[in-house]
Chain A
Amino acid sequence: MWWPGDDSLLRVRPRDTDWEGVRLHVVTGKGGTGKTTVAGALAIALAAGGRRVLLMEVEGRQGIARLFDSPPLPYAERRVAVAPATPTLPGGEVYALAADPEAALVEYLEMFYNLRHAGTALTRLGVVDFATTIAPGLRDVLLTGKAVEATRRRSGGRLYYDAVIMDAPPTGRIGKFLNVATEVSGLAKMGPVRGHADTVQSVIKSPQTAVHFVTVLEEMPVQETLDGVAELRGLAQGGLQLGGIMINMVRPVDLTEEQLQAAAGGTLDEHELDTGLKAAGIEDRRGLAASLAAELTEHAREELAQRAQRTRVAEAGQPCYDLPLITDQMDLAGLYRLAAALREQGAA
Chain B
Amino acid sequence: MRPGPALEVDRLLDDPRTRIIVCCGSGGVGKTTTAAALGLRAAERGRHVVVLTVDPARRLAQSMGLSSLDNTPRPVPCAAAEAAGGSLHAMMLDMKRTFDEIVEAHSDPDRAAQILANPFYQSLSSSFAGTQEYMAMEKLGQLRRADEWDLIVVDTPPSRSALDFLDAPQRLGRFLDGRLIRLLTAPTKAGGRAYLKFVTAGFTMVTGVITKVIGAQMLRDVQTFIAAFDTMFGGFRERADDTYRLLQAPGTAFLVIATPEPDALREASYFVDRLSSDQMPLAGLIVNRVHRSPAAHLSAARSLAAAEVLQPVPGSGENPSDLGENGHGNGNGLPVPEAGPPDLRGMPAAAATMSRHPLTATALRLHAERMQLAERERRLEESFSAAHPVIPMAEVLAQPEDVHDLDGLRSVGKELARGVRLS
Contact = CB atoms under 8 A, between A and B. Distances in A.
Interface in B168-199: 175, 178, 180-181, 184
Contacts of B181: 130, 134
A272 B222 contact: no
Contacts of A5: none
B99 to A, nearest CB: 16
A282 B309 CA distance: 11
B388 interface: no
A297 B338 CA distance: 33
B312 to A, nearest CB: 12
Contacts of A14: none
B212 A291 contact: no
Contacts of B59: 219
A252 B343 contact: yes
A interface: dominant SS: helix
B119 A186 contact: yes
Nearest to B352: A256
A272 B298 contact: no
A159 B307 CA distance: 54
Interface residues of A, number: 83
Nearest to A297: B400
B206 A122 contact: yes
A130 B370 CA distance: 50
Interface in B193-216: 202-203, 205-206, 209-210, 212-215
Contact of B57 (A136, A219, A336): A219
A281 B364 CA distance: 12
Given A81-B334, A125-B180, A277 B341 contact: no
B interface bracket (residues with beta carbon within 8 Å of A)? 35 or more
B296 to A, nearest CB: 9
B356 A219 contact: no
A276 B357 contact: yes
Interface string B85-98: 00000000000000
Contacts of A305: 400-402
Contacts of B142: none
Given A288-B298, A301-B401, A337 B58 contact: no
A287 B295 CA distance: 8
Nearest to A328: B325
Given A219-B57, A253-B346, A84 B123 contact: no
A230 interface: no
A187 B337 contact: no
B43 interface: no
Interface stretch (A18-26, A236-244, A338-346): A338-346
Nearest to B307: A280
A302 B369 CA distance: 15
Contact of B217 (A109, A186, A331): A186
B345 interface: yes
A255 B345 CA distance: 10
B306 A252 contact: no
A15 to B, nearest CB: 15
Interface in B322-377: 323-325, 328-329, 334-338, 341-346, 348-349, 352, 356-367, 369-370
A286 B365 CA distance: 19
Contacts of B295: 287-288, 291-292, 295
A206 interface: no
A299 B203 CA distance: 64
A259 B359 contact: yes
Nearest to B175: A133
A89 to B, nearest CB: 13
A173 B123 CA distance: 13
A113 B211 CA distance: 13
Given A32-B27, A82-B334, A280 B306 contact: yes
A334 B335 CA distance: 9
Contact of B293 (A61, A272, A282, A291): A291
A84 to B, nearest CB: 5
A333 interface: yes
Contacts of A280: 306-307, 309-310, 357, 360-361, 364
B203 A136 contact: no
A348 to B, nearest CB: 13
Contacts of A113: 209, 212
B356 to A, nearest CB: 6
Given A280-B360, A280-B364, A341-B342, A327 B309 contact: no
B57 A223 contact: yes
Interface in A206-245: 218-220, 223
A52 B342 CA distance: 24
Interface in A40-87: 61, 81-82, 84
B178 to A, nearest CB: 8
A118 B321 CA distance: 54
Interface in A157-192: 173, 176, 186-189, 191
Given A223-B58, A295-B363, A136 B123 contact: yes
A127 B200 CA distance: 14
A37 B389 CA distance: 33
B342 A324 contact: yes
Interface string B243-257: 000000000000000
B119 A219 contact: no
A340 B342 contact: yes
B320 interface: yes
Contacts of B127: 136, 173, 176
Contacts of A193: 213, 215
B338 A118 contact: no
Residue in B214, B328, B401 with the greatest tally of chain A CB atoms within 10 Å: B214
B215 A115 contact: no
Nearest to A142: B213
Given A32-B27, A136-B123, A252-B346, A295 B215 contact: no
A60 B400 CA distance: 35
Contact of A340 (B307, B338, B362): B338
A115 B334 contact: no
B323 to A, nearest CB: 7
Interface string A302-335: 1001000000000000000000100110011110
Given A277-B306, A293-B363, A340-B342, 18 more contacts: A9-B346, A30-B28, A133-B175, A134-B222, A187-B217, A187-B218, A188-B213, A252-B345, A254-B362, A279-B356, A280-B360, A281-B306, A282-B302, A287-B295, A302-B400, A331-B328, A332-B329, A336-B337
13 contacts: A32-B28, A109-B209, A125-B203, A219-B404, A254-B348, A276-B363, A277-B306, A277-B364, A292-B363, A292-B364, A295-B294, A324-B342, A332-B329
Q: Which 7 A-B pairs have the closest CB atoms?
A: A276-B360, A333-B328, A276-B357, A291-B295, A280-B306, A340-B337, A301-B400
